[in-house]
Amino acid sequence: MHPRTKLFSTIASVLMTAALAAPAAHADAYGQAQNRVDDAAHLINHMQQDPNLAQLLSEARGVFIVPHYGKAGFIVGAQGGDGVVLARHDGRWTDPAFFNIGGGSIGWQAGASGGSIVMILMTQRAVDRFEHSRGKWSLHAGVDLTVVRYSGNAQLSTRAPRSDIVAWTDTRGLYGGLTAGVTDITPENHLDHAYYHGDATPRTILTGMVRNHQANDLRDALGTRVAER
C-alpha cells in the first residue's frame, strides 16, 4: 500500500472510531443524568412526608438536591457528591441543571457514612448564584448568602431577615460545616448538554428555556404537599 494511501486509511479509521464512540458516550451521560434525576425525585417524595419540610419546599424559590454525598471516614477526604438544581418561576418548577460538590468541601464526623443533602433556596439571590454559574465557585455563609440548618421547624422560612438557604441532611455525621461553607460547586455542562440534546446552560435551564419530559416525576414531586398533621 502506498504510504499516503495508508495514512489516509489510518485517519479514516480514527475518525470512524471517534464517530462511533460519540453516540455511546452521549448515551452514557444521558443515562447518568436520568438516574440522578430519578434519585432526586425519590428523595423529594420522602421529604414531602414531613409537613415542615413540605412547607419550606412550597415557599422555596429553588432547590439543590444531592441524593448521595460522600462516603467519608474522617473530616477530610470526603468523595463529594452529584446533584441537580431546579428553580421556580410563577409557581412552576423548571427542569434540573446538573451540579457537583467537590470532595472534602463539607465536614464530616469520624465514622460518618454516605447520605443525602438538600439545600432549599429561599431567595432569588440564592438561585442566581447557580443560574449564573460558569465555573467552580464556593458558597460561604455570612459572606454573601445566609445559610441555616434545618431543625424541624417550618418557621425557619419566615425569620427576619429571611435566610437565603435552609440546609437539610439525613445523615447525623454531617456536622455544622454544611452551614459554614461549601466549596467546589461546579456546573456539569456535559450532562446538561446530554440531557437536553443541545448547548444548554444553567441559565437556559433555570429560566425554563429548555425542557425534558423525563424530569416530570421530579417536578411533580416538588409540586406535591402533604396535608398538615
Nearest to 162 by CA among 60, 83, 86: 60
Q: How many domains does the chain have?
A: 1
Residue bearing cell 425554563: 208
Whether residue 227 is contained in a domain is answered as no
Over the stretch 22-45, which tens digit does the pLDDT of each residue have?
Answer: 456 668 999 999 999 999 999 999
Q: Is 7 exposed, middle or buried (0-12, 13-18, 19+ CB in 10 A)?
A: exposed
29 within domain boundaries: yes
Query: Is residue 229 assigned to a domain?
Result: no
Using a 10 angstrom Cβ sphere, with 0-12 exposed, 13-18 middle and 19 or more buried, the burial of residue 62 is buried
> Nearest Cα to 147, choosing from 182, 106, 112, 115?
182
Q: Between residues 129 and 106, which one has the greater pLDDT?
A: 129
Between 20 and 52, the higher pLDDT residue? 52
C-alpha separations of 93 from 33, 74, 216, 221, 227 in Å: 18, 37, 10, 10, 20
Percentage of the residues of the chain whose pLDDT score is greater than 70: 67
Which of 82, 52, 70 is closest to 173 using CA atoms? Answer: 70
CB 211 within 8 A of CB 37: no
Predicted confidence at residue 86, as pLDDT, reads: 98
Mean pLDDT score, 154-182: 65
Residue 228 lies in a domain: no
Q: Tell how far CA 160 is from the center of its chain.
A: 27
Cβ burial 139-161 (10 Å sphere, 16+ → b, else e):
bebeeebbbbbbeeebebbeeee
Domain assignment present for residue 123? The answer is yes
Indicate the average pLDDT of the chain. Answer: 79
Cβ neighbours of residue 129 under 8 Å, at least 6 residues apart?
Answer: 137, 139, 144, 145
Q: pTM for the complete prediction?
A: 0.80
In this model, does residue 78 exceed pLDDT 70? no
Q: Which helix (H) or strand (E) holds 88?
A: strand 81-89
Cβ contacts of 215 within 8 Å, gap of 6 or more: 37, 95, 96
Q: Is residue 204 part of a domain?
A: yes
- The domain in which residue 214 lies consists of 3-222
Task: Give 175-178 contacts, CB < 8 A, sequence gap 24+.
Answer: 175/107, 175/108, 175/109, 176/107, 176/149, 177/106, 177/107, 177/108, 178/106, 178/107, 178/117, 178/147, 178/149
Which grid coordinates belong to 118?
A: 438538600
Residue carrying C-alpha cell 470512524: 16
Does residue 82 surpass a pLDDT of 50?
A: yes
Assess if residue 89 is contained within a domain.
yes
Residue 184 has pLDDT above 60, yes or no: yes
